[in-house]
Each structure stands twice: as C-alpha cells, then as structure tokens.
Structure 1
Amino acid sequence: MRVLVTGFGPFGNCKVNASWEVVKVLAEEGLGEDHSLEIDEIPVVYEAVQDRAPLLWSEKKPDLTVHVGVSPYDSVTFEQYGRNFGYSKPDILGRFPNMECCVPDGPDCIRSRLDMDLVQLNIKARGISVETCISDDAGRYLCDFLYFLSLSLGQGPVAFVHIPSLDKEYSCMELAKALRLIILAMIDQLVEKATV
C-alpha cells in the first residue's frame, strides 16, 4: 500500500513543529516491507495548502493519506470530520482563505471514510503507549483546512491525527511509534474492507 504522511512547518511560537519532527522519525522507521511511505512538509499557509493538496494526490497517488498536526492537548487525537467554514484565524503570512472557507459551495463538513473508533480499538489491542481520543472538531485552522480539502478531493481514504507538542508528556520517538501503529491499524481496516 502507498501511504502519504504529511506534517506542518513552523508557525507562531512553534519554531519546530512537532508534527513534522514526528513524521520524519516515522519515515526513518518505515511501515514495513509491504508498504511504501512518502512524507511531505506543508507550510502553515492557506494558499499553499490549496495549491499543494491536489498536487500531492496527483503526484504521489496514495492509497492512504494521513495528515498530522500539533495540538495543545496531551493526547493523540483522531479527527473524524473536516469542516468547510469558519477559518477566521490568519496563517503565518497574516492571510485568510477567501470567504473564510475551504471549498466555496462545498458541504459544511465531510466525515473520514476510516472508522476512528475501530482504529482506536485496534491500537489499544496492540498496546499503544500513548493516550488517544476521538474528536469531531479539528479546530478551524490549517489542520482542519487541509483535512477538509483532502477529503473533498475524494481521491482516497484520508485521516487527520493531532499529536501533542514535544514539551508535553511524550517524546518524538514515542509519538512516531504510536503514529506507526495508528497507520498500520488504518491499513488493516482498509484491507479488511477490500476483502469483504
């Protein structure tokens, strides 16, 4: 399976974005011989996301895309929905998306095709070492913006995982190992669906 994993670049007081650091460590670990893994760093800029997201799908042709962002919370969070409207917080260039929305005339929200409850059950059975939870609101900033845009392209399964910053409880390696288990659980779910 071809897997694309993205992380974000620096923003605000976050000079080193935990999401990109964790994604880079994941790339060193890999997903095993059966799966190829490509990574990409996304700037915290609305216009760059709008340009980059469609290119990632057309260039990389992933079977699964997992976007990773950093959040202020202490747990690893699986985002169930991407939202189209309400982007009133400026990006690192001080800009907003047109009409504060992702896709004009698009739906209010899109749910991931992946069942995050099943992902959570799967990783708990594998003995994941970090706290996890499921969220219905990815935050109306670049994380949510990228997630909704990726989901709206309809090119394949998409997930968004928020991780804590590196000054919280978990190390970069612990988060990378957890992300690896999460992605393998998502792959298992997709393989199972394909064989039903």
Structure 2
Amino acid sequence: MTIATDAKARRVLLAGFEPFENDPVNPAWEIARALDGWTCEGAVVQAVQLPCVFGRAIDTLDAALIGSPLQLVLCIGAAGGRTEISMERAALNIDDARIPDNAGQQPIDLPVVRDGPAAYFSTLPIKAMVRDMRAAGLPAAVSNSAGTFVCNHIFYALMHRLATRPALAHTRGGFVHVPYLPEQAASKPGVASMALDAQVEAFRVAIRTALTVRHDVRETAGRLH
C-alpha cells in the first residue's frame, strides 16, 4: 500500500480483496495494485488489500480512510461467472455467508451494523461510469446485488461511514464486482473471464468519470429479475 506523501493531495482509494475460496489470485487486488500511484484529474490512487474476513475487512478499511482528503473510495471484489465489470447499486445490512470466510467464520442472518438502515445506495455516478466504459469498448453493467458475503459486508460498512462521519461527508464511494482472470477460468471450463489489462483500463475510465461527473446520467439500467 502506497501512502500519499502530500497531506493535501486528494486520494482515490481502491480497496481490493485478497484471494479466497482456494483461488491463488484475486483480480480485485491485482487491479488495485496495478493502479496504485496513478494520478487522474489531480487525485492520486492509493491501493489497499482487504482481508476476505468479516469484521477484519472493515478494520482494514477504517485504517485506510484516515489521512489526506479522500475524493473517491471504490471497493473491489471478484464475482466468478460475471462477464462484465459490475457497478453495484445497493448494499444491504445483512451478513449471510454461503461459505466460510478466510478465517473460517460463516455468519448467518446478522446485521453488518446493528440498528443501521436496511440499505445504502452507491454514491458513485454508476450509470455514467458504465456508459463510458462501454464507449471505450469495455464490457460493463449496473448490478443490483452485491450478494451477502464479505463484498456486501464491506460495501455496506463503507457507505455507513460515508453517511455518518463528517470528515467523509464529501467523499463518494461504492463497490465494483469484476470477472475472473483468464488464468482462473482456465481451471473452470465454460466460466467467463476478462484479461487484467482490460480490467485495469476499465477502472481508469471509471475513475476518470467518477472524478468529473457530479450528477449521474438518467437512462435505463433496470432488470426484470
């Protein structure tokens, strides 16, 4: 993790998860670390690796939120089987783990934040980000479910902090799910993948859009199911 040395430098925090469920690599962290130190629109990207562990992931995020001003926070997780970069719309106040996390924990039907709201929406311009990624020839879509595993856990925790901490009142944030890398899909016949270079470029486009678009575009991204 690279820390900005200029206390006044604006930051874009990319928080990507470590590998989980016996995979040796996680595209979420590979994307984040590939962009660590990249400057866009006067803001510097800082990468941090999140443990795939309930509770501990939030502690790591909390430590990364301290420091020079944060303009954007994008948490990133892998979603095996997805064919596109997925901009998540909403985070639910629920932990309901289908599998144990990397510490063996498997919470079922527990809140992420006790007495917190049922859900939060992303504050990123997700439709504009999808529009611009697609215009650049990079597959992307709005997703309405971040699941109920550690990805949703950190997404909800992030949005709760942005909504309740005065120091983060002007910081926008959200969650992005990404496809497998080809080397992961090689052992999973029939499962979609996307090259790391393409995913990194998609995030360059998405970050630039998020830094320059204040009001999201109004166009359909709904689904029947």
With normalisation by structure 1, the TM-score equals 0.87
1:3 corresponds to which of 2, 7, 12: 12
**Counterpart mapping for 1:125-140 below 5 A:** 127-140=135-148
Residue 101 (1) aligns with residue 111 (2): yes
**Counterpart mapping for 1:33-182 below 5 A:** 34-59=42-67, 61-72=69-80, 73-89=82-98, 90-97=100-107, 100-124=110-134, 127-154=135-162, 155=168, 156-167=171-182, 168-182=192-206
With normalisation by structure 2, the TM-score equals 0.77
Q: Which amino acid aligns with 1:143?
A: C
> How far off is 1:49 after superposition?
1.5
Q: Verify the 8 A CA contact 1:5 1:65 in the aligned structure 2.
A: yes
> How far off is 1:174 after superposition?
1.2
Report the Cα distance in structure 1 between the residues aligned to 2:137 and 2:77, rounded to whole angstroms.
19
Report the Cα distance in structure 2 between the residues aligned to 1:163 and 1:41, rounded to whole angstroms.
15
Between 1 and 2, higher relative CO (CA 8 Å, sep ≥ 6) is seen in 1
Q: Which has the higher helix share?
A: 1
Structure 2: gaps of 5 or more residues: 1-9, 163-167, 183-191, 217-225
> How far off is 1:63 after superposition?
1.3
Report the Cα distance in structure 1 between the residues aligned to 2:129 and 2:104, rounded to whole angstroms.
36
Q: Verify the 8 A CA contact 1:88 1:100 in the aligned structure 2.
A: no
Counterpart position of 2:208: 184
What percentage of residue pairs aligned between the two structures are identical? 23
Counterpart position of 1:14: 23
Q: Which amino acid aligns with 2:196?
A: C
- Detail structure 1 runs of 4+ shifted over 4 Å in the superposition: none
> How far off is 1:33 after superposition?
6.5
Relative to structure 1, the CA distance from residue 27 to residue 54 in structure 2 (aligned partners, 3 Å threshold; closer, same or farther) is closer
Q: Which amino acid aligns with 2:173?
A: V
Report the Cα distance in structure 2 between the residues aligned to 1:61 and 1:35, rounded to whole angstroms.
10
Number of matched residues? 189
RMSD: 2.1
Report the Cα distance in structure 2 between the residues aligned to 1:123 and 1:12, rounded to whole angstroms.
29
Report the Cα distance in structure 2 between the residues aligned to 1:60 and 1:12, rounded to whole angstroms.
34
- Name the SS for the 2:104 alignment partner: coil
Q: More deviation in 145-154 or 112-121?
A: 112-121
Higher CA-based Rg: 2
> How far off is 1:60 after superposition?
5.0
- Name the SS for the 2:116 alignment partner: coil
